[in-house]
Amino acid sequence: MKKTSEIFKPEFYIKGILKRDISILSRAITLVESTKDEHQKIAEKIIDGIIGKSGKSFRLGITGVPGVGKSTFIESFGLHLVTNGHHLAVLTIDPSSSKSKGSILGDKTRMEKLSVHPGAYIRPSPSSGSLGGVARKTNETILLCEAAGFDFIIVETVGVGQSEISVNEMTDFFLLLMLAGAGDELQGIKRGIMEMADSIIITKADGNNIQKAKGARAEYANAIHLFPATESGWIPKVNTCSAIQNEGIKEVYDVIEEYKRLTISNKYFNKKRQAQQLEWFHRSVSNSLLEKFYTNPKIKKQIQAIEKKLSGKNVNPYKLASELVKKWKK
Amino acid sequence: MKKTSEIFKPEFYIKGILKRDISILSRAITLVESTKDEHQKIAEKIIDGIIGKSGKSFRLGITGVPGVGKSTFIESFGLHLVTNGHHLAVLTIDPSSSKSKGSILGDKTRMEKLSVHPGAYIRPSPSSGSLGGVARKTNETILLCEAAGFDFIIVETVGVGQSEISVNEMTDFFLLLMLAGAGDELQGIKRGIMEMADSIIITKADGNNIQKAKGARAEYANAIHLFPATESGWIPKVNTCSAIQNEGIKEVYDVIEEYKRLTISNKYFNKKRQAQQLEWFHRSVSNSLLEKFYTNPKIKKQIQAIEKKLSGKNVNPYKLASELVKKWKK
């Protein structure tokens, strides 16, 4: 069980994943997340080998600002899922600070009961670099987990703007956790994200906080009516919950079931999945193109020369770029 | 003065810009911001024609959450600049909500005195779509304004995560406006952005708010000491200000002057500009590559076929993408 750095043939991982070997699944995800060329090549083959067995889960995106209680909520909600027979994979995207590369969230002991439940698999993806890159890898990780038989996938992100948009591009349902009374400044920023939400849950509706939470619920429910109609025909729901007292948790599940019924019957569910496939195709085209370009030995040399030029005055980086691309294509 | 839709030869715009004809400058910016191919071609030539005259301004990035008082601050600070002989261009990036394409900021009458001052030019860039795209155009707009003789450029954004990072990539100094007591949740999100700030200003330090603002100042000053050392050798400054009472405004200018002195003498100023040039070169390569690819007639046809395929089951978008790119290069 040591030697996790050893690399096997793609078939080894494919077989292991299809048998739901969690240790092999984890190692495959590590390959998918790796930026090394040799790892990426194997990862591509693994994805190709399992893709026919993927796609059969419900994919739930969860976001909220730090302190909203995401882990506590996922612990309660996840336990509800696994005790009702679901196999749950939780993927957490942990955006790093762009400068120090340190984790915002820091060390954490989170989801204590869920993490030891045999029906659940929790995979944090600490990540630096571009959020686009993170999202691509998370999307492939979803496919791997589905092939391993997980029928419910939660993708958790911290609310930082760009990452929720990516998460919305790879999940079926987008759940936004909100605090009661977190101030108007916050809401200003969050409008674009609120518009993406299929459901808003006001967390920590317990103790002295119950009235405040109920008030916030009414406020958000009103706000939602002002949003443009959704393509799915779904009207976003606003609820309160207390993860600690386990109240309002089953209701979240009921809302999701209702959404599934509606969007499967009106065919929006598949339509959204297909649009997402297309989106991932185009992202992948962009990645492949750039890789092909930058790994070309001639281009590498010319870029070295251009880098020197750019340190001078009166150079036009836009022109140099378009000339270089034109030359390459010939 | 009507007929702004009429398009002239690049020389017309270049000449007009160099003569600081504001109406022609504005029309050139509109071409730069346009997504139409014919406009882009002229825009490229305009940029190439003026780039030798650009680069001589001080570029200041300002960000903060909605409600922090960015416009009021820029009004006060801008008036200080123009009355001291500066020629100021203010470029505001207004990120739209990703779904409704509506502006977060909505209609606004902002910067009343500054907008009619002959030494100032205010250019809002309402924008939908990718923030990367916005940023590229803003960077080119900076160059145009510099060629028109503006020696101080302010780029203003709303704090939504990704956009501040782009703004930091095109400005010399990054100023973060903060409210006193806006809650810990907000600070959690803002850490990565706080780390980029060269100066933090606590706004609205007037009336009953003075003590709170002073407290916040002390808090942030402490927090900043825990951040990793900056490459510039500069220690970020935290100050309070009241734009309404015009207090703390001159001090912001002094801080910037101090920064300039330090970074010009230790050569960081030019080093950062050069790194930014390189960054824009690479972004431009990426844009050109994608454009070349997607406008190719053969590729267009094949993508149509792939889009049909993708609506089926068991297709691997990653594989289809990399195969298509491989074929193109041959």
In this structure, is residue B277 part of a structural domain? no
The CA distance from B184 to the nearest CA of chain A, in Å, is 8
pTM for the full model? 0.72
The verdict on B90 and B233 lying in the same domain is yes
Tell me the residue type at A1. Answer: M
What is the sign of the dihedral through the CA atoms of B24, B29, B35 and B37? positive
The verdict on A118 and A150 lying in the same domain is yes
The verdict on B48 and B63 lying in the same domain is no
The verdict on B254 and B289 lying in the same domain is no
In this structure, is residue A246 part of a structural domain? yes
Q: Does residue B261 sit at the A interface (CB-CB below 8 Å)?
A: no
Nearest CA in chain B to A54: B314
Report ipTM (2 d.p.).
Answer: 0.78
* Phi, psi dihedral angles at A81 (to 5 degrees): -65, -50
Residues paired with residue B247 on neighbouring β-strands, in sequence order = B242
The verdict on B4 and B153 lying in the same domain is no
The verdict on B244 and B322 lying in the same domain is no
In this structure, is residue A205 part of a structural domain? yes
Q: Does residue B224 sit at the A interface (CB-CB below 8 Å)?
A: no
The CA distance from B314 to the nearest CA of chain A, in Å, is 5
The verdict on B27 and B157 lying in the same domain is no
**8 Å CB contact of A162 and B162:** yes
Of A179, A185, A311, the CB nearest to B67: A185
The verdict on B149 and B8 lying in the same domain is no
**8 Å CB contact of B324 and A285:** yes
Q: Does residue B304 sit at the A interface (CB-CB below 8 Å)?
A: no
Task: Count contacts between A and B (CB, < 8 Å).
Answer: 199
The verdict on B106 and B15 lying in the same domain is no
* Phi, psi dihedral angles at B177 (to 5 degrees): -90, 135
Domain carrying residue B309? 282-329
Contacts of B65 in chain A (CB under 8 A): 185-186, 188-189
Of B186, B188, B282, the CB nearest to A104: B188
Residue ending a domain, among A224, A240, A267, is A267
Nearest CA in chain A to B68: A185
User: CA-to-CA distance for A288 and A321, rounded, in angstroms?
Assistant: 18
User: CA-to-CA distance for A160 and A134, rounded, in angstroms?
Assistant: 13
By C-alpha distance, which of A169, A192, A167, A148 is closest to A61?
A167
Residue ending a domain, among A53, A71, A88, is A53
The CA distance from A73 to the nearest CA of chain B, in Å, is 17
Does the structure show a pLDDT above 50 at B130? no
In this structure, is residue A119 part of a structural domain? yes
* Phi, psi dihedral angles at B81 (to 5 degrees): -65, -50
In this structure, is residue B286 part of a structural domain? yes
Report the CATH number that the domain containing residue B237 is assigned in CATH.
Answer: 3.40.50.300
In this structure, is residue B222 part of a structural domain? yes
How confident is the model at residue A99, as a pLDDT? 38
Count: domains in chain B: 3
**8 Å CB contact of A98 and B324:** no
**8 Å CB contact of A322 and B159:** no
The CA distance from B275 to the nearest CA of chain A, in Å, is 8
Q: How far apart are the first and last CA of chain B?
A: 51
Report the CATH number that the domain containing residue B31 is assigned in CATH.
Answer: 1.20.5.170
- 3-state DSSP assignment of residue B198: coil
By C-alpha distance, which of A60, A135, A136 is closest to A93?
A135
In this structure, is residue B275 part of a structural domain? no
Token pair, residue A299, equals: 């281009």
The verdict on A76 and A49 lying in the same domain is no
Q: Following DSSP, what letter does each residue of B91-157 receive, concatenated?
A: EEEEEBPTTT--BSS-S----HHHHH-TTEEEEEEEE-S-HHHHHHHHHHHHHHHHHTT--EEEEEE
**8 Å CB contact of B316 and A47:** yes
Q: Following DSSP, what letter does each residue of B297-327 receive, concatenated?
A: HHHHHHHHHHHHHHTSSS--HHHHHHHHHHH
Tokens 């691509």, residue? A136
The verdict on B212 and B319 lying in the same domain is no
**8 Å CB contact of A189 and B311:** no
Q: Does residue A185 sit at the B interface (CB-CB below 8 Å)?
A: yes
User: CA-to-CA distance for A14 and A28, rounded, in angstroms?
Assistant: 9
Given a contact cutoff of 8 angstroms between Cβ atoms, the answer to whether B125 and B141 are in contact is: yes
How confident is the model at residue B265, as a pLDDT? 96
Of B162, B185, B311, the CB nearest to A182: B185
The verdict on B43 and B91 lying in the same domain is no
Q: Does residue A56 sit at the B interface (CB-CB below 8 Å)?
A: no
Tokens 């400005």, residue? B171
**8 Å CB contact of B185 and A184:** no
Given a contact cutoff of 8 angstroms between Cβ atoms, the answer to whether A309 and A320 are in contact is: yes
How confident is the model at residue B1, as a pLDDT? 44
Reading chain A (330 residues) residue by residue, the pLDDT tens digits are 445 567 899 999 999 999 999 999 999 999 998 878 889 889 999 999 999 999 999 999 998 877 788 889 999 999 999 999 999 999 987 654 433 333 434 334 578 899 899 999 999 876 544 444 556 688 899 999 999 999 999 998 876 555 666 778 889 999 999 888 765 444 444 566 777 889 999 999 999 899 999 988 988 888 787 777 788 999 999 999 999 899 999 999 999 999 999 999 999 999 999 999 998 899 889 888 988 898 889 999 999 999 888 887 778 998 899 889 988 876
Nearest CA in chain B to A304: B278
User: CA-to-CA distance for A222 and A217, rounded, in angstroms?
Assistant: 9
Given a contact cutoff of 8 angstroms between Cβ atoms, the answer to whether A168 and A232 are in contact is: no
In this structure, is residue A48 part of a structural domain? yes
